Amino acid sequence: MKLSVRGEYAMRAMLVLALNYDESVVRIQTISEQQKIPKRFLEQILNDLKSAGIVQSRRGVAGGYRLARRPEEIPLAAIVRHIEGALAPVSCVSERFYEKCSCPDESRCAIRSVMKEVREAVVKIMERVTVADLCERARGLQQVPLSPFDFSI
């Protein structure tokens, strides 16, 4: 699985919404500025997540976005699958987006066998980790002191 810029921005936007879950809505401008995401691109991503029922929006001057469910109820897999599609590294091992591969015999393909293990590991992690877990990590990483630059000549 390779996360595209769109997928990364979706995860970053979800993190901001989750960190501000107790607020009624978060303005798109706030997310854009905090995460350095182009506003127009962010609007498209959030509308896409809205169509999936992952976020909600409120229009108007006091409008913005919020999570549609509690952060603990949103696995990272749901976000990535909606934005990117399959979690599998190749389509012939995907359970939800399967496509036949070009190898002569799928059942005896060593590469497919390894890629299936990779998919299973990725799915296990992405289904287990929620947006709430992402928030917890973000808060913990804010406590880590910045390391000074290490220059060697």
pLDDT of residue 51: 95
Condensed to tens digits (0 to 9), the pLDDT of residues 86-97 reads 888 888 888 888
pLDDT of residue 151: 59
pLDDT of residue 75: 97
Residue with tokens 């060593």: 110
pLDDT of residue 142: 85
Average pLDDT over residues 5-34: 95
Provide the residue ranges of all domains of the chain, joining segments of one domain with +. Answer: 5-137
pLDDT band for 117, please (50, 70, 90 cuts).
Answer: very high
pLDDT of residue 104: 87
Concatenated DSSP letters of 72-92:
GG-BHHHHHHHHH--SSSSGG
pLDDT of residue 4: 93
pLDDT, greater one: 106 or 138: 138
46 near 65, Cβ under 8 Å?
A: yes
The model carries a pTM of 0.85
Cα distances from 6 to residues 11, 80, 139, in angstroms, run 9, 10, 23
* Domain 5-137 listed as CATH 3.90.1150.10: no
Average pLDDT over residues 103-129: 92
Task: Inform me whether the pLDDT recorded for 60 exceeds 90.
Answer: no
Q: Which residues pair with 64 in a beta bridge?
A: 58
Q: Which residues pair with 26 in a beta bridge?
A: 65
Q: Is the dihedral of CA 100, 106, 112, 113 positive or negative?
A: positive
pLDDT of residue 150: 59
Average pLDDT over residues 112-139: 95
* Range with lowest mean pLDDT among 38-47, 68-77, 134-143: 134-143
Cα distances from 124 to residues 6, 57, 74, 93, 151, in angstroms, run 22, 30, 14, 15, 38
How high does pLDDT run on average in the chain? 91
